[in-house]
Amino acid sequence: MPQKKQDDKKWAELNDKLLVAIVEHDWPAMKSIYYEQALILKKESRDAFRFVHESAKMELSGIQGKTIEQVEIIFPEDACSVCKSAAKGIMTISALQEKSQLPVAGCEHPSCRCSYAPVLEEVVPPLL
């Protein structure tokens, strides 16, 4: 089967999975599906920014659903200079949702790997 047809078939499967994930409010699944779609677009040399952005939004929604109010952006070691300069420390989820933070506008990587990390108010000691 030619690569384009394989990609089209995979895209259709991902859309079907996305519909199920949306109904179930499965944020991690939605994050993963949008990112997989971004990778397909990247492979086709098409703009994947919107799908990477949606992936990040799903990540943020999943964190917010766990009663966490603040996050910080985690940058991979090889992040581009645009992403590294966007580091702003700890931010509230509501502020980030208004700004649409990730991926950072102008990011030099077609499939940005920057992500959100929840900021925990207190650390619970491990069970013995």
Which helix (H) or strand (E) segment is 31 a member of? Answer: helix 27-43
Question: pLDDT category, 33, cuts 50, 70, 90?
Answer: very high
Domain boundaries, the chain: 3-118
Six token digits for residue 49: 């920014």
The Cα–Cα gap between 64 and 19 comes to 21
Beta carbons within 8 Å of 82's beta carbon, 6+ residues apart: 104, 106, 107, 108
106-126: pLDDT as tens digits: 888 777 888 888 887 655 555
Over residues 53-103, the pLDDT tens digits come to: 889 888 888 877 667 778 888 888 888 888 888 766 788 877 777 766 778
Q: What is the pLDDT of residue 65?
A: 62
CB atoms within 10 A of CB 44: 12
